Amino acid sequence: MRKLLFFGLTTLSITAMGQSIEEAKQLLYYDRYQSAEQVLQQVIQQKDDEKQAYYWLTEVYLENDDIEKAKSLLEPNATSLAAAHPLNRVAYGSLLLNQDKLAEARAQFDAALKESKRKDEAVIKAVAKAQVENEKGDAAYALQVLNEIKEKKTDAEVLSIKGDAYRKLGQGSESAKAYMEALIKNDKYAEAAFKLGKIYLTQKNTEMFLKYFNQAIEADPKYAAAYYELYYYYYFRDVNKAKEYLDLYVANTDKTVEHQYMTTDLMFASSKYSEAISGANAILQQEGEKTKPRLYKLLAYSYDASGDSTKALEYLQTYFSKEVDSNLVAKDYDLQAKLLTKTGNDSLALQSWERAIAMDTVTEYKLEYMQQLANWYKEKENRSGEARWLGKIFETKEDPNNLDIYNWGLAHYAAAEYNAADSVFGLYTAKYPDQVYGFYWRAKSRAQIDTTMELGLAIQDYLKVIEIAEKDVEKNKSLLLQAYGYLGAYEANVKKDYPAALGWFEKILAVQPDNADAERFAGILKKWISDGGPK
């Protein structure tokens, strides 16, 4: 749909049939395209010389992005329609703009302005509106033609279109100023308040956009677009309030299948999964192949929340097959991965998680998927895979903490990847030199690398463990016992320094007097010292 810029409640010459056009214009303003189309079709059918209706019917079609309908309406009689009323030239110019025929479109707009002697405000507004609404339109040209309207005839609608033009040019402050001037001109002009709300919405200024959306409703309770924005805002925050605004939106718009989609969405958001499934199935039965792909996604998430993994996966796969790639999001692949693990398709699940990680641009979510992968590998007792993803978490996090490094190193250790564990715990000791666990696990990793103790790789780390741990012996008793024992064995077996070895075992007994092994080794060492060595 094109950007919603409506003509409001301006008055052209009113005849019996013109009044019907006014009715259609008002319906357009309220976003009621279906009803507007019906009225305009009747106008054309009842009084074919009411050529102005073709312009407004073209507006209906272009608002609905139905270029083919607009072409079939205008192109067979383009010459006669253009001659009948300048507004029809504008309609044809709008169609050409939508077909990227910029020069031809400009020629039609210029001709319409010339034929109306550049004095017909309705034609000027129509030209400006067409240029602003279309992606390839010229907003500067729109402002130029709007400035031809004399100041005393500048109404709220003109100011609103100016605001649209400034916004398209990226001049946000000028845009807001124009909308505010429109409200000064006519405080009941809901469209201007609504568009102010949209500006603040893009700035994520919640207080201000809620203020102006509510102001739009107060100015005109039939202005459905504001109800929609409020519904969407509360959809993620308060489903009960969202339901209130959805009901008001539905009451003030033409009945369409989109209402059913929205109601079904809200059932899901409200955790009413059985109702969401029922609503979705009703739409499927009604729409058949015309069903929007997102409905299959809703069914997948609803069945997953209801505990039916098989149906959830079935509908999610259907969604993937029907939706364009650009609409797929990382969360969908995350769900696919979880469902695949429940159905035993582990290799495909891993691919889905990796795709979710590659796709998501939000670091928080990337980390969540990485942690899920790490947990999955751990559950499968594949500690090497766990370590790989914990390492990616460390690399991805802006400010990783000690637990991130600790778990990463521990996974490498559990996978018997001792050199990798040594490196990771080296990071730990560098970043947290006053904490004992980095030195302790680096000592254990190095002990596994140097199994004969000949290289003495673990010695300095165990000495550091003792230095830190002895500050609170009771808390660190277990670590101290291991460090004392390792150093005692090293002194006895490698260095052959039996008095030094005895000193370490005596430290064990000081901490744990009933340690039978330490007592036995101490006895042996005392004998060796007395005898001058082992016999």
274-292 pLDDT, tens digit each: 999 999 999 999 999 999 9
Tokens 């009842």 map to which residue? 46
Q: What is the DSSP string of 259-318?
A: HHHHHHHHHHHTT-HHHHHHHHHHHHHHHGGG--HHHHHHHHHHHHHTT-HHHHHHHHHH
Question: Residue 239 pLDDT more than 50?
Answer: yes
* Residue 49 confidence (pLDDT): 55
Round to whole Å and give the CA distance between 42 and 37. 9
Domains 1-149 and 434-535 agree in fold: yes
Question: Residue 234 pLDDT more than 90?
Answer: yes
Which region, left, alpha or beta, applies to residue 325 given φ > 0 means left and ψ of -120 to 50 means alpha? alpha
Model pLDDT for residues 60-87, shown as the tens digit of each residue: 887 877 788 877 777 777 777 767 788 8
* Residue 528 confidence (pLDDT): 92
112-121, 435-444, 480-489: range with lowest mean pLDDT = 112-121
Question: Residue 424 pLDDT more than 50?
Answer: yes
Q: For 77, which DSSP code? A: G
Question: Residue 344 pLDDT more than 90?
Answer: no
Whole-number percent of the chain with pLDDT over 70? 95
- 406 pLDDT tier (thresholds 50, 70, 90): very high
Q: Does residue 79 sit in helix, strand or coil?
A: helix
The mean pLDDT value for 358-379 works out to 93
The mean pLDDT value for 397-425 works out to 97
* Residue 75 confidence (pLDDT): 76
CATH hierarchy code of domain 434-535: 1.25.40.10
Report yes or no on whether pTM surpasses 0.85. no
* Residue 62 confidence (pLDDT): 79
Give me the residue spans of the domains in the chain.
1-149, 434-535
Round to whole Å and give the CA distance between 244 and 251. 11
Question: Among candidates 374, 459, 456, 384, which has minimal Cα distance to 416?
Answer: 384
Contact call for residues 10 and 149 (beta carbons, < 8 A): no
Contact call for residues 123 and 7 (beta carbons, < 8 A): no
Question: Among candidates 179, 228, 230, which has minimal Cα distance to 209?
Answer: 230
Question: Residue 175 pLDDT more than 80?
Answer: yes
On the CB side of 532, CA atoms within 13 Å amount to 0
Query: Cα 272 vs. chain centroid, distance in angstroms?
Result: 23
- 467 pLDDT tier (thresholds 50, 70, 90): very high
Q: Does residue 399 sit in helix, strand or coil?
A: coil
Question: Residue 244 pLDDT more than 60?
Answer: yes
The mean pLDDT value for 262-274 works out to 94
* Residue 526 confidence (pLDDT): 93
Question: Residue 1 pLDDT more than 80?
Answer: no
Q: Which fold has domain 1-149?
A: 1.25.40
112-126, 163-177, 215-229, 285-299: range with lowest mean pLDDT = 112-126
Q: What are 370's two structure tokens?
A: 């990485």
Question: Residue 25 pLDDT more than 90?
Answer: no
* Residue 20 confidence (pLDDT): 82
The mean pLDDT value for 100-114 works out to 90
In one-letter notation, the amino acid at residue 208 is: M
The mean pLDDT value for 97-116 works out to 89
Whole-number percent of the chain with pLDDT over 90? 72
Q: Which residue has the higher pLDDT, 167 or 38?
A: 167
Contact call for residues 81 and 118 (beta carbons, < 8 A): no
The mean pLDDT value for 497-510 works out to 96
Question: Residue 6 pLDDT more than 50?
Answer: no
Tokens 């383009």 map to which residue? 78
Angle between helices 156-168 and 172-185 (to 10 degrees): 170
Q: What is the mean pLDDT of the chain?
A: 90
